[in-house]
Structure 1
């Protein structure tokens, strides 16, 4: 059953009690990466394998997302800076122990490609924080796999 999480602002990305930050480079330019993140929400399951369903809601101001294992999120988009940043706050979720979550995708030019940095800023119960810290490596692998899939997808679309 989904429950309401604490509402946080964009500054939470720097102040959360638990922050996981990952980065990788892709060959696509920042604008193409941004479009895949922000404009093609329904395409997320094709490259981020942990996501089984993603769809925009409220005219694109929010998203509904379902992950493998049945975790669901109802989100509000809090930053849309084409080619630079895309961020969203989780407003409702059925994830046990989760109390607040904001995810930020930062894009910076890297040669002819893009450096993609993902920050997962969260708070939750003591058990939630413990488990997430222990899962840091698995979350990082999931991110790297997703960005690698996105890179191949964008290269195929451009080629």
Structure 2
């Protein structure tokens, strides 16, 4: 029999024991506690944690209450079924993966000459940084050139901005 820590004061938060001697928590309370656990361990907002729990339950073909109990068991160090653990890991991985941004959008593109200049500056600063990795000025110039590409191409990710700038100048 596992010992449990009460989550709040009063008997409503204490797990109930069933006839097998294992601790059972009311299902709605278990879901709330599992959402809180996911919020703390993922980290995620309450809405994201609820989506993760729902997606994992659907993926594992289990009711949310059963998966919530598995999340709470895992937090207590009790082994959980592999199917539930795999489904939960996949749901968390999916929630953490950012949605892809469209490669072409309804935004204005910069002048091709400006993009070529920014790319040239990027490649120059990259060579300079490669030659002297400890040079703080070289690192600053490299980061500035990356930032310029991000702003110019309207992308938050430097790799995406670089890729799109190269594609734009080659087309």
The TM-score with structure 2 as length reference comes to: 0.24
Higher strand share: 1
Which structure has the bigger radius of gyration? 2
Higher RCO (CA < 8 A, seq sep 6+): 1
The TM-score with structure 1 as length reference comes to: 0.25
